[in-house]
Amino acid sequence: MRIPYKKCLAMILVSGLLLALLHAWIPRASSGVDITPREGGQLKKLLEGKIGDSIGGYDNIEYHIKDDVACHLPQNSCMCLADEETFRLPFSNLLSQRVWAHKLDLPFLESHPDPEGVKRHRAQEYNSFQKRSYNPADVLIVAEANSPLQYPTQGVEVRPLKTIIIPGLALKETGSNHTVHLTASLGTFDVAATVDGVFVKGEGEKHMMLSSPLLSTLNRQLQFVTYTNTVFHPKTADTVQFATEGHQSFFTIKVGHGTIPKLYNSGYQKEYNITALVTIATKTFLRYDKLKDLIDSIRQYYPTVTIVIADDNEHPQPVTGPHIEHYIMPFGKGWFAGRNLAVSQVTTKYVVWVDDDSFFTADTKLERMVDILEKTTLDLVGGAVREVTGYKATYRHTISVEEGGEEGDCLHIRDGFYHVIEGFPTCVVADAVINFFMGRTDKVHQVGFNPRLSRRGHLEFFIDGLGSLHVGSCSDVIVSHASKIHLPWSKTDSQKAYEKFRYSSSSADKDVHNEVFYFKNRFKCMTSQ
């Protein structure tokens, strides 16, 4: 029996679609990566060794570029390019995702009354930011090979206006009448003890000389050299010159206050005390029925965990009950402003963010999130959201910024993650996660939420946290989500009012988002999947 041509083609398309869906659903094979807190270990040993680089003096030697490696080097001329449009079959978006690109400079500048002025302002702000964030300890200093000078290459720190012994100073050479010089700009030198046969000049000054006919006595004296910081700054570094005849070297001494720990007294427990460790935060607007469902579901599994609610309704209704904190905001103040308010009132070590139209189930295991945050270096871990249809989403993204020169940088957002976490096979490391997460309260405070984003916003928080937040995602901690499907004739007045605010298409909202990315983050464009 012959199969008709059309039926055969349909079978091929369906088979291809099923294979693509299976490929998307099957977790990527990946060996786990250990991100547990640790001491220096092998890395410390590596950094303690002498690392050098050779520069200059070899211009006459030819070289050959290796294209497949050189193409990955920073070019400082990034471009945002979308995938080229090709002939698209039905359901082709399920087979492969296209990269789209959105310019941020033109839409913002075209609608601004003074585009050149705002460009100058942005450049000035960026220049000021660079000056504020500059640290001399970040400047590359190469220790030349075969130098007789021994000195610390990194890891030397002093508190403002305090004194330390400089470790590791020594001279390795032959001959007689050995002399070394030390020069600083933000402090002075001295010796904590004297050694017979060593001449020292310049104690208490920015330049000090040490000399001896015996190398052994000079090196013994160098063990007692001190540095005293004399210029207060909460965070900077002094570049010290260490020199002898015909040789000079440089190393940095970091100057700054130590980091003050933020410890949370949650009480000693053999098992995690979720009530003492976790606060649940949410924001509500015109959805008190959904909020009640959320609270009821939380109380079913966590009856004594504190719930913090930020509320910017025009006519707020009382939300009461044990372990509930209800904070009223100005009407329509907005999404991120509500997040800031709610998180600002959290006093526990961890905060859980959840939308007011979600609800807890037996799969919403906060203990699991606490466990991974306690045992790894992660600052924030996201879960998964299950829709009423049964579909489960984790929303894992990686974010990268490519340098783009004077016009700004390029922001690239891609679906996916970096690697599986060793010991937690259902958890991965990413840069952005879904709108249900648990984070270290102090780290969430540190990043904060931009209150100008009133109706739309989520990814912006993770962009602001890029480089300071270590983010993970666990697919086995699940919160359920109320249905978003409502027949037009079944919508309540509050639902209609909410949609009017939530899905506003006003140009003002779009202008804010363009400005946030273009001016605040200094991007000229972004690409995403």
- Using 50, 70 and 90 to split pLDDT, how confident is the model at 205? very high
Q: Which CATH architecture has domain 139-256?
A: Sandwich (2.60)
For β-strands 170-171 and 149-150, DSSP reports them as antiparallel
Residue 41 has φ and ψ, to the nearest 5°, of 55, -140
Q: Is 70 exceeded by the pLDDT of residue 57?
A: no
- Equal CATH topology for 139-256 and 274-528: no
Q: Give tens-digit pLDDT for 464-486.
A: 999 999 999 999 999 998 766 55
Residue 333's alpha-carbon distances to 313, 314, 341, in angstroms, are 9, 10, 11
Q: What is the signed CA dihedral for 333, 339, 344, 347, rounded to 10 degrees? A: 140
Positive or negative: CA dihedral 450, 454, 460, 461: positive
Confidence (pTM):
0.81
What single DSSP character describes residue 352? E
Q: Which of 448, 461, 444, 455 is nearest to 502 (CA)?
A: 455
- Using 50, 70 and 90 to split pLDDT, how confident is the model at 89? low
Backbone dihedral region of 362: left (phi > 0), alpha (psi from -120 to 50 degrees) or beta? alpha
For residues 212 and 232, give the distance between their C-alpha atoms in angstroms, rounded to a whole number.
34
For residues 348 and 113, give the distance between their C-alpha atoms in angstroms, rounded to a whole number.
46
For residues 92 and 200, give the distance between their C-alpha atoms in angstroms, rounded to a whole number.
78
Burial of 269-299, coded b for 16+ CB within 10 Å and e otherwise, reads: eeebebbbbbbbbbbbbbbbebbbbbbebbb
Residue 137 has φ and ψ, to the nearest 5°, of -65, -15
The pLDDT value given to residue 53:
37
- Using 50, 70 and 90 to split pLDDT, how confident is the model at 462? very high
pLDDT > 90 in the chain, percent: 53
Q: Give tens-digit pLDDT for 224-260.
A: 999 999 999 888 999 999 999 889 999 999 999 988 8
For residues 513 and 510, give the distance between their C-alpha atoms in angstroms, rounded to a whole number.
5
pLDDT (average), residues 356-362 = 92
Q: Can you name the CATH fold of 274-528?
A: Spore Coat Polysaccharide Biosynthesis Protein SpsA; Chain A (3.90.550)
CB–CB of 179/210 below 8 Å? yes
Residue 452 has φ and ψ, to the nearest 5°, of -75, -20
For residues 383 and 366, give the distance between their C-alpha atoms in angstroms, rounded to a whole number.
10
Residue ranges per domain, the chain? 139-256, 274-528
- Using 50, 70 and 90 to split pLDDT, how confident is the model at 24? very low
